[in-house]
Amino acid sequence: MKKIFDYQMEWSGLQNRMAYMFNPKSGRTVLLAVDHGYFQGAPSGLENLRKTIEPLLPYCDAISPAIGGLKTSMDPRTRTPIILRATGGNSMRRSDELDDEIATVSVEEMIRCNAIGFTVSCYVGLPNQRQTIENLTTLADEAHRYGLIAIGITAVGADPVLTKFVKGEREDGGELTPDDKKDAVRYLKHACRVLSENGADIVKTYYCDGFEEVVDACLSPIVIAGGTKRPTKEALDFTHKAISAGAVGVDMGRNIFQNEHPVAMIQAVRAVVHEGKSVAEAYELYEEIRNA
Ligand code: 5RP
């Protein structure tokens, strides 16, 4: 397993901001992603953002809203570090355009909101890859002048390989073949390395079998997105596998706030990420909390 402080980092404010986001004992993080509305509209579980966020906040090491969600639905007195979604300009109404993203939040706005960092989606392999990688490099270049954390996301996208992998089935609905799974590792390894070479201090991607290869190829620490909602045990299982394979935490949304018991789920995820609990132990904790 790897910890955030195994990686070479600048001494500067960047490292200090990392210390706000990463648990000093475990060296890992549970970051709650609630930025989905910037392109998904109001996905289930985020209709009432304030109501969703408030009970989960005490269990987040950091939280990742979009600018609108931050300004309208979060108490400015919170002490939970903010990671601000900084690219967009797309929406699921035009899912063929997902990769046509632009910078939507300035570094000045990040500082004004007292965010410790920001996220940028990079659609590696898609027609607008250059534009989205440029979003990362431009924002990271300016943000690094102030020691802000740049998180590059390569977990959302419509790359054919990724779509197959995320959906867990081939276009014809058939099971993924071993070659499909090898494609997924190859794609995620390639995409994560590209982001880490272009200024991402942390890379967010999906877990896949063979994840160790993705971690080893990436120059920056990796956190995993959860992706679409899975059954509780399955979500705890891929979380456990990702941490064991070297992820330094999660930047998870739907598998927490769409879980039948979100507060129980985020505590079970924390047990895996911070206490090294097994899936069975974490699931037992989940059951205890949901039944309490
Ligand atoms: C799309 C994102 C989400 O933050 C990312 O996908 C993590 O959320 P989830 O665990 O629901 O996939 O970048 O807005």
End-to-end, the C-alpha distance of the chain in Å comes to 32
* 158 lies in the same domain as 25: yes
* 134 lies in the same domain as 267: no
Please return the burial class of 43, using the count of CB atoms within 10 Å of its CB with bins 0-12, 13-18 and 19+: middle
The pTM is what? 0.93
Q: Does 238 fall in a domain?
A: no
* 91 lies in the same domain as 206: yes
Average pLDDT for the chain: 94
pLDDT at 69: 98
* 128 lies in the same domain as 164: yes
Question: pLDDT tens digit string along 27-42?
Answer: 999 999 999 999 999 9
- The residue to mutate among 251, 258, 273, having the most atoms of ligand 1 within 8 angstroms of its beta carbon, is 251
Q: Does 120 fall in a domain?
A: yes
Calculate what percentage of the chain has a pLDDT beyond 70.
Answer: 97
- The domain tally of the chain equals 2
* 25 lies in the same domain as 37: yes
Task: Show the domain range for 49.
Answer: 13-229+246-256
pLDDT at 224: 96
Residue from 164, 204, 229, 277 carrying the catalytic annotation: 204
Q: Does 113 fall in a domain?
A: yes
List, chain by chain if needed, residues with CB within 6 Å of any ligand 1 atom.
Answer: 33, 35-36, 64, 121, 153, 155-156, 225-227, 251-255
pLDDT at 179: 84
Question: pLDDT tens digit string along 106-158?
Answer: 999 999 999 999 999 999 988 999 999 999 999 999 999 999 999 999 966 65
Could you tell me the pLDDT band of residue 211, with boundaries at 50, 70 and 90? Answer: very high
Mean pLDDT of 160-179: 78
